[in-house]
């Protein structure tokens, strides 16, 4: 029984703003070897410290719509007036080379991906409570109060989609939640549905 090939797992992580998803996705890359992090395209402006090509591919709206028109996006969404999208080519290249792909996307994007890739593994990350979620958004100084209120309304909508996901991780403590995320990704590596094995039909020695 020789392992011939393993197709990578497409791991989709969603969460309401403030649940800590971005931190978790960053940290889990340190824990889990050979994890391909798909860098999204976006039309939103970089926040301080964000690096083009690492955090996002920052593009103009015209460039984004061109890609979408050429069906080069596995999913796309408009969030708070900005476009976000996942490039097909990098994604499918990684999966077919046996690399697991971590996608950090919103609930609309996740829905599109599950339709296109029904074998995707989806994980919803929550804050322990709405109160905690609001507090975390307020601590993040980059957002204006009106923006925080908008994100909270949207958070409620997103949270209502939790049951459409395969796994739920409640982010009470970053280290614990990162471990849980890594555990799920690790377990999915032994899914029979992604494995190709060869059984040499040798004579069994007596």
Q: Which uninterrupted H or E stretch holds 184?
A: helix 174-188
Name the minimum Å distance from CB 190 to a second copy. Answer: 5
Pick the piece of the chain touching a second copy (CB under 8 A) from 71-79, 92-100, 106-114, 125-133.
Answer: 125-133
> Residue 145 to residues 31, 80, 130, 149, 161: CA-CA distances in angstroms?
35, 14, 16, 6, 25
Binding string, residues 144-183; x marks residues near a second copy by CB under 8 A? -x---x--xx--x--xx-xx-xxxxxx---------x--x
User: Contacts with a second copy: how many residues (CB under 8 A)?
Assistant: 42
Beta strands in 48-99 (DSSP E): 57-58, 73-79, 82-87
Comparing CB distances to a second copy, the nearer of 46 and 128 is 128
* Strands 82-87 and 35-37, sheet pairing: unpaired
CB of 14 closer than 8 Å to CB of 110? yes
CB of 195 closer than 8 Å to CB of 5? yes
Using CB under 8 A as the binding rule, the residues of this chain from 82 to 111 that contact a second copy are none
Pick the piece of the chain touching a second copy (CB under 8 A) from 83-91, 97-105, 109-117, 126-134.
Answer: 126-134
User: Within 13 Å of residue 45, how many CA atoms lie on the same side as its CB?
Assistant: 3
Comparing CB distances to a second copy, the nearer of 61 and 195 is 195
Q: Whole-angstrom Cα distance, residue 81 to residue 65?
A: 14
197 interacts with a second copy by CB under 8 A: yes
134 interacts with a second copy by CB under 8 A: yes
Binding positions for a second copy, rule: CB under 8 A: 1, 3, 124, 126, 128-131, 134, 145, 149, 152-153, 156, 159-160, 162-163, 165-170, 180, 183-184, 186-188, 190-193, 195, 197, 199-200, 202, 204-206
């Amino acid at each position: 029984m020789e392992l011939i090939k393993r197709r990578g797992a497409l791991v989709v992580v969603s969460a309401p703003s403030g649940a800590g998803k971005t931190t978790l996705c960053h940290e889990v890359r340190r824990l889990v070897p050979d994890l391909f992090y798909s860098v999204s395209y976006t039309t939103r402006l970089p926040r301080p410290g964000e690096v083009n090509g690492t955090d996002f591919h920052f593009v103009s709206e015209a460039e984004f719509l061109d890609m979408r028109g050429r069906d080069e996006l596995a999913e796309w969404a408009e969030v708070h007036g900005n476009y976000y999208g996942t490039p097909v080519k990098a994604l499918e290249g990684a999966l077919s080379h046996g690399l697991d792909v971590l996608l950090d996307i919103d609930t609309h994007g996740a829905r599109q991906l599950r339709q296109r890739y029904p074998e995707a593994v989806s994980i919803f990350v929550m804050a322990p409570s709405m109160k905690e979620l609001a507090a975390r958004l307020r601590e993040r100084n980059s957002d204006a109060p009106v923006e925080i209120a908008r994100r909270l309304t949207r958070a409620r909508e997103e949270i209502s989609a939790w049951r459409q996901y395969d796994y739920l991780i409640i982010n009470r403590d970053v280290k614990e939640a990162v471990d849980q995320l890594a555990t799920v990704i690790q377990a999915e590596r032994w899914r029979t549905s992604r494995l190709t094995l060869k059984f040499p039909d040798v004579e069994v020695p007596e």
